[in-house]
């Protein structure tokens, strides 16, 4: 049994299944290029898979700088490249060359939340096409899925874009994955995934979940970094809100446990943790899950 909120010491318990431990074992940490990133890096496990947010405020240069810092530190860095923040096709070619020269194995592409595109890209698909034509040398390219929808894009468009991106990667002979944006509703995630599988999406899924995050940081940074569309779920679900306002913050255990049983059938390969730089707490949660499962 695992005491929740871990590591905040609530009195609730959750049973840790082998399926949940398998999901947690493949955990990818997302960090943000802010003033707190140094402490976040110090808390990362050696050689961890680490994604670098493309902040609407700091932009691509900050993502590039932090990615290089992580690679130099021996981490498997995965930069997020926001298409709407790319100023030109020439910059796209330069980013592809940068990825190749740095020896990156994975890159994640997202449209981004800039109110107006800084260059020719309205969304991720066109940027992905130009980026791949620039021969970035990556083995895998990831992109986002939206179980909770998107405030500015119709569901039908999101659905068709998923398959178009999958087809683009297949044509380029590049692997890929879909990372779901933060959603607190396990039933919604499950329904969305089953629908996408029925429509032909066969790429592996990295389930996007918050790490063990203080409630203020989650709400403040989550909205600022473009996941406010998923945070809106909180307003409609009292039980989730109560967990967030409990002393300590948000604990992802229940959400992960609810989806772990169906992970294999749904093609969920691992977790993408939105740590908001609260890395130490999320690492402790990860370690406790693995240790508890091993002792069961």
Return all residues near 107 (Cβ < 8 A) that are at least 6 apart: 78, 79, 81, 99, 131, 136, 138, 141, 142
User: Looking at the domain assignment, is residue 141 inside a domain?
Assistant: no
> Cβ–Cβ contacts within 10 Å for residue 145, how many?
26
Beta-carbon contacts of residue 42 (< 8 Å; ≥ 6 apart): none
Residue 107 lies in a domain: no
* Residue span of the structural domain in which 29 resides: 2-79+152-295
Residue in 180, 191, 179, 240 with CA at minimum distance from that of residue 215:
240
User: For 207-243, how does the pLDDT look when each residue is reduced to its tens digit (9 = 90+)?
Assistant: 999 888 776 656 655 544 444 444 454 555 445 544 5
Q: How far, in Å, CA of 101 to CA of 266, rounded?
A: 35
Query: Is the model more confident about 12 or about 219?
Result: 219
- Per-residue model confidence (pLDDT) at position 58: 85
Instruction: Spell out where 116-222 has E strands.
Output: 140-145, 175-180, 205-210
* Total number of domains in the chain: 1
| Residue 129 forms part of a structural domain | no
Residue 127 clears pLDDT 50, i.e. is over it: yes
DSSP state of 36: T
32 domain residue, yes or no: yes
Residue 193 lies in a domain: yes
Q: What is the pLDDT of residues 61-85, one digit of tens each?
A: 999 999 999 999 999 999 999 999 9
Whole-prediction pTM value?
A: 0.89
Token pair recorded at residue 33: 């290029």
Query: Does residue 45 carry a pLDDT above 80?
Result: yes
Listed range (26-40, 101-115, 229-243, 249-263) with the worst mean pLDDT: 229-243
* Residue at 125 is within a domain: no
């Amino acid at each position: 049994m695992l005491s929740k909120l871990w590591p905040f010491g609530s009195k609730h318990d959750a049973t840790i299944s082998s399926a949940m431990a398998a999901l947690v074992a493949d955990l990818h940490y997302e960090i943000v290029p802010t003033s707190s990133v140094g402490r976040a890096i110090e808390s990362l496990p050696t050689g961890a898979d680490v994604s670098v947010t493309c902040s609407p405020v700091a932009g691509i240069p900050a993502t590039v700088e932090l990615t290089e810092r992580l690679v130099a530190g021996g981490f498997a860095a995965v930069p997020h490249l926001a298409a709407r923040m790319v100023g030109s096709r020439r910059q796209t070619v330069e980013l592809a060359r940068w990825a190749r020269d740095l020896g990156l194995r994975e890159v994640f592409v997202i449209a981004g939340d800039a109110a107006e595109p800084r260059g020719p890209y309205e969304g991720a698909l066109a940027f992905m096409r130009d980026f791949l034509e620039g021969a970035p040398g990556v083995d895998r390219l990831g992109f986002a899925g939206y179980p909770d929808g998107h405030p500015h894009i119709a569901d039908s468009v999101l659905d068709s874009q998923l398959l178009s991106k999958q087809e683009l990667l297949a044509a380029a002979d590049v692997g890929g994955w879909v990372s779901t944006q933060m959603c607190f509703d396990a039933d919604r995630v499950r329904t969305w995934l089953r629908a996408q599988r029925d429509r032909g999406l066969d790429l592996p899924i990295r389930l996007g979940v918050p790490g063990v995050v203080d409630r203020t940081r989650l709400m403040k940074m989550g909205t600022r970094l473009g996941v406010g569309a998923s945070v809106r779920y909180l307003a409609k679900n009292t039980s989730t809100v109560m967990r967030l306002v409990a002393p300590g913050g948000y604990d992802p255990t229940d959400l992960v446990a609810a989806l772990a049983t169906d992970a294999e059938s749904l093609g969920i390969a691992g977790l993408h943790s939105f740590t908001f730089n609260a890395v130490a707490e999320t690492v402790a949660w990860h370690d406790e899950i693995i240790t508890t499962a091993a002792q069961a």
